[in-house]
Amino acid sequence: MIAQPAENLALEVRGLEFRYRSGGGFALSLANLAIRPGEQVLLRGGSGTGKSTLLQVIAGLVDPSGGTVRVAGTDVHALRGAARDRFRGTHVGMIFQTFNLLQGFSALENVLAALMFSELPRNEHRQHAVSLLRTLNVPNPDSPVETMSVGQQQRVAVARAVACRPTLVLADEPTASLDPENASAAIELIQTTCAQNGAALLCTSHDPAMTSRFSRVESLGALGPAPDRGAVGAGA
C-alpha cells in the first residue's frame, strides 16, 4: 500500500503493544496496519491469537501498552472519558459474534441507542433508524430483539453498527456461530451495508471460507511485531 497521511486513512495502527495486567507478558504486538476509507480487510488468525483484543484496542475500549491507533486521523487513545465515547459512537461501528443487543428493547430502540452519538438532528433519528432497518429487511422494528431469529438479530446488529455512518466498522468473528449458508448471507450483508454507507471494514475470522470474499486478506502474525518488541502471550 502506498503511504498516505493519517488523516486520509480510515485506520492507522503503528507500533501497537498490549500487555495483560495479569500474566506479565506482551499479549499483542503489531508493527503497522493501515486501511483506506471504504476498504474492506479480512484479518485472519486462529483462536487465541489476539484478534478480539486488537479490535477492542482499535475501538478504544481498552488502552494499549504502547503505540498509536488513529481513526480518521484522530489518536483514539489521546481522548479521555466522554470525549472518547463520543468519538467511538460517531466514527466506529462494532458487530460482535454474539450481537450484544440490548435485551428487552426493540430493534428500533437498539438502533436509536446508537444514534445518541450521531450528528444527525435528533428529530430525524427515528425516521433514519426505521428506514435503515427496512433496508436491511427487518420488517417489525418494534419487536423485542429477543423474539427475533438469529438472522434478524444480526441484521439489527448491522443496522446499529452503521447507523451513525461511521468511518470504520469492526466485525469480530461475525459468522462464527452460523452454519455455512447463513454465514455467507451474513458476510454479504455486512460487506454490502458497509459499502453503501461508505464505511471501511475490518473483519476478523479464522474461517478459511471467508478468504474468497475479501480482496485484501491479512494474517495477524504476518503484520509483524512492534519495533524492538515481540509478542509473548496470546490474546482473545
Q: What is the mean pLDDT of the chain?
A: 88
CATH domain 37-63+81-219 topology: Rossmann fold (3.40.50)
Which residues make Cβ contacts (< 8 Å) with residue 65, sequence separation at least 6?
17, 18, 19, 26
- Measured between alpha carbons, how far is 51 from 81 in angstroms, rounded to an integer? 24
- 232: confidence class by pLDDT, cuts 50, 70, 90: very low
Residue 160 CA to its chain's centroid (Å): 11
For residue 22, what pLDDT is reported?
A: 61
Residue 229 CA to its chain's centroid (Å): 26
* Amino acid in position 23: G
For residue 23, what pLDDT is reported?
A: 55
The closest alpha carbon to 220, from 80, 52, 1, 5, belongs to 52
- Which of the residue ranges 3-17, 46-60, 151-165 has the most confident prediction, judged by mean pLDDT? 151-165
With a cut of 60, say whether residue 24 has pLDDT above it.
Answer: no
Which residues make Cβ contacts (< 8 Å) with residue 155, sequence separation at least 6?
133, 136, 137, 138, 189
Give percent of the chain above pLDDT 90.
66
- Measured between alpha carbons, how far is 145 from 132 in angstroms, rounded to an integer? 16
For residue 50, what pLDDT is reported?
A: 86
Compute CA distances 164 → 7, 87, 128, whole Å: 19, 11, 10
With a cut of 70, say whether residue 71 has pLDDT above it.
Answer: yes
The closest alpha carbon to 136, from 154, 109, 118, belongs to 154
For residue 68, what pLDDT is reported?
A: 97
The model carries a pTM of 0.88
Name the more confident of 170 and 24: 170
For residue 177, what pLDDT is reported?
A: 76
- 183: confidence class by pLDDT, cuts 50, 70, 90: confident
**Strand 200-205 to 40-44 pairing:** parallel
- Measured between alpha carbons, how far is 194 from 157 in angstroms, rounded to an integer? 13
For residue 227, what pLDDT is reported?
A: 64
Could you report the per-residue pLDDT of 72-120, keeping only the tens digit for each? 999 999 999 999 999 999 999 999 888 899 999 999 999 999 999 888 8
With a cut of 90, say whether residue 36 has pLDDT above it.
Answer: yes
With a cut of 80, say whether residue 191 has pLDDT above it.
Answer: yes
Is 47 in contact with 220 (CB distance < 8 Å)?
no
Domain ranges of the chain: 37-63+81-219
Is 90 in contact with 82 (CB distance < 8 Å)?
no
Least confident of 23-32, 58-67, 146-155: 23-32
Could you tell me the three cell numbers for 156? 439489527
Name the more confident of 227 and 83: 83
Average pLDDT of the segment spanning 220-226: 74
